[in-house]
Amino acid sequence: MTAEHAPISPGGFDDYVEALEVEGAPLLGHLVLYSVYSGEVTPDAIAGWFRELGLNEAYCPREISAQDVYERVTGPSGVKRTYEIGEQQTRHERRPDGAKGRRALLMIRHVSRDNSAIARHLVREVRDEERVQLEYDAGLTVISFVRDQAEGAAGTAGSLVIQPDRAAIAALPAEEQAAVREVLDEARDAFEHGRLFLSGDKLRAVVRTYIESFHPIRVRPSGGVYFIGAQHAKTLAALRELVAHFGHGSNLARCRSPTRRRCATW
């Protein structure tokens, strides 16, 4: 973004920007925005990219907290399943408007926490709209995070332990037993994946924290779009390369036309 500019044709805009930079025009800075999606980025991989790109390693995530992964997988936004009871419906079908029935929700709820473990239960909630009541099976499975008690182990290290109540699960209809197994498998797989790879939230935090270290102007109050001074252009280019490594559509871009709001990646 320059101190002075005039409208130009979209076709010649890239040449215009390049000419400004080469000729030393008074460049104030860049309008920067980014999108980061979950991929398969390990702490070792991102540390290597930081070194290769000459980025400040103080902003590089060091390791993954197994406890944080457990909290995320079993938390309010974690694994759950909703389904109809007694109706042959696919997941994408809906009851007719006004129709009443029974609907079940499998969810994970917190029970206890101490120095050795965190315990949560897989709960089955049934909403009966016809009879206007709720029913609960409060302990189909205990899903615990057991802390690593080995000497020198990090306080957030540990493992996932799943202890199903086989009798309680066997008392459910076959279709619901299958739903319980699917939820438990999903929780187990999500935990194992999360222990290996940085989450999308963690990757976004890396980019956000690094960008905010430049003391930028937030164009959008919630973040994600910033005006950053021209003196940080080299580091921004390195960050662009870093974000490109994240994959799955992740990108960091600079807005090249303040009048037309045309944006493109470097």
* pLDDT bucket at 24, cuts 50 / 70 / 90: low
pLDDT in tens, 172-229: 999 999 999 999 999 999 999 999 999 999 999 999 999 999 999 888 877 778 999 8
User: Above 90 in pLDDT, residue 135?
Assistant: no
Task: Average the pLDDT over 2-16 and give the result.
Answer: 42
Confidence (pLDDT) at 221: 78
Instruction: Evaluate the CA torsion angle 195, 201, 204, 206 in order and state its sign.
Output: negative
CB count in 10 Å sphere of residue 30: 21
Model pLDDT for residues 75-114, shown as the tens digit of each residue: 999 999 999 987 544 444 555 544 567 889 999 999 999 9
Tell me the pLDDT tens digit for each residue of 26-67. Answer: 667 888 999 998 889 999 999 999 999 999 999 999 899 999
The reported pLDDT for the residue numbered 132 is 65
Would you call 112 helix, strand, or coil by DSSP? strand
Residue with the bigger pLDDT between 232 and 156: it is 232
Band of pLDDT at residue 248, cut at 50, 70 and 90: confident
Given a cut of 80, is residue 126 above it in pLDDT?
yes
Q: Report how far residue 254's alpha carbon sits from residue 233's, in angstroms, rounded to the nearest whole number.
A: 10
Q: What is the pLDDT of residue 105?
A: 94
**Helix or strand or coil: residue 226?**
strand
- The whole-number pLDDT of residue 4 equals 39
User: Cα(233)–Cα(13) distance, rounded to whole angstroms?
Assistant: 19
Domains in the chain: boundaries: 10-62+198-264, 66-195
Residue 61 near residue 202, CB atoms below 8 Å: yes
- The maximal CA–CA distance of the chain, rounded, in angstroms, is 77
